[in-house]
Structure 1
Amino acid sequence: MFNKVILVGNLTRDPELRYMPSGGAVCTTGIATNRKFKKQDGTPGEEVCFIDITFFGRTAEVANQYLNRGKKILVEGRLKLDQWTDQNGGKRSKHSVVVDNMQMLDSRGSNESGDYKPEQSHYKDEQKSYRQPAAQVHNGNETPVIDIDEDEIPF
């Protein structure tokens, strides 16, 4: 079976970090996503979805260190059904997302502490820094200069 979720949104609360008896880090928070649409009568509508998310391991520690309420992030993970019995004996349940990968989307300038360094992101090995090719002008037309290494071509 396939269980994969990708969400982009803003954190609804500050992350809460704790450690399991085994020493592994667990960080919980929430994310809000929204969808804008046009109603049948032509007026704009908006639907907001609030989802609890959980980080584990090093990602949990990074999330706790660099994220806070309102920050925009992209999370990739799996959907999980949490079930419990409430104080009145009723059965309760909710869906949450267990995060496998996370990417911080806010720019450096919007970070109050100024300590954010992209190389400390969870994606440090997977991200590649691509620079915008410089444009050269030939006969009034701009032609981008593309510097491609033969090892980067997939065929």
Structure 2
Amino acid sequence: MRGLNKVTLIGNLGKDPEVQVLEGNVPVAKFSVATSETYRDKSGQPHTSTDWHTVVLWRGLAELAQAYLRKGSLVYLEGKLKTRHYDDAAGARHYVTEIVGEHLLLLDKRPGESS
């Protein structure tokens, strides 16, 4: 049996995408997406919990992000979790978990579009 690594998010960008062009002219975009859940406690008081997710997009999706996404943009994203590590100058190892996007839909209304 094979495993499944799939993430689906609907949320808002926390900042404009940061785009770099790597060796071989390969664009990569990185940004954060906030997802929020609202729930009620035992007394009925509403509470909102927000989680922040780091998203990485490659090639065509990175170009799409650079052209159309801005802080606050509402997006639907499908991808997979990837964990990587790096060692800092002091030799300490750090682990980073990111969502590598595979499908992206822009959910914002276009200017002039009615609700």
The amino acid that maps onto 1:94 is: V
Structure whose residues are more often strand by fraction: 2
1:17 alignment counterpart: 19
Give the direction of change, closer, same or farther, for the CA distance of 1:10–1:20 in structure 2 (3 Å limit): same
Is 1:93 aligned to residue 95 of structure 2? yes
Aligned equivalent of 2:55, options 53, 56, 59:
53
Instruction: Provide the C-alpha distance between the structure 1 equivalents of 2:31 and 2:38, rounded to a whole number of angstroms.
Output: 24
The alpha carbon displacement at 1:24 in A equals 1.4
> What is the aligned-residue RMSD (CA, Å)?
1.7
Give the direction of change, closer, same or farther, for the CA distance of 1:107–1:57 in structure 2 (3 Å limit): same
How many residues were matched structurally? 111
Secondary structure of residue in 2 paired with 1:48? strand
TM-score (norm 1): 0.66
List aligned pairs for 1:1-150, cutoff 5 A: 1-109=3-111
The alpha carbon displacement at 1:88 in A equals 4.3
Instruction: Provide the C-alpha distance between the structure 2 equivalents of 1:53 and 1:43, rounded to a whole number of angstroms.
Output: 32
Secondary structure of residue in 2 paired with 1:108? coil
Question: Whose radius of gyration is greater, 1 or 2?
Answer: 1
Q: What is the percentage of aligned positions where both structures have the same residue?
A: 28
Higher RCO (C-alpha 8 Å, min separation 6): 2
Instruction: Provide the C-alpha distance between the structure 2 equivalents of 1:54 and 1:98, rounded to a whole number of angstroms.
Output: 5
Instruction: Provide the C-alpha distance between the structure 2 equivalents of 1:66 and 1:48, rounded to a whole number of angstroms.
Output: 24
The amino acid that maps onto 2:16 is: D
Q: Which runs of 5+ in 2 are unaligned?
A: none
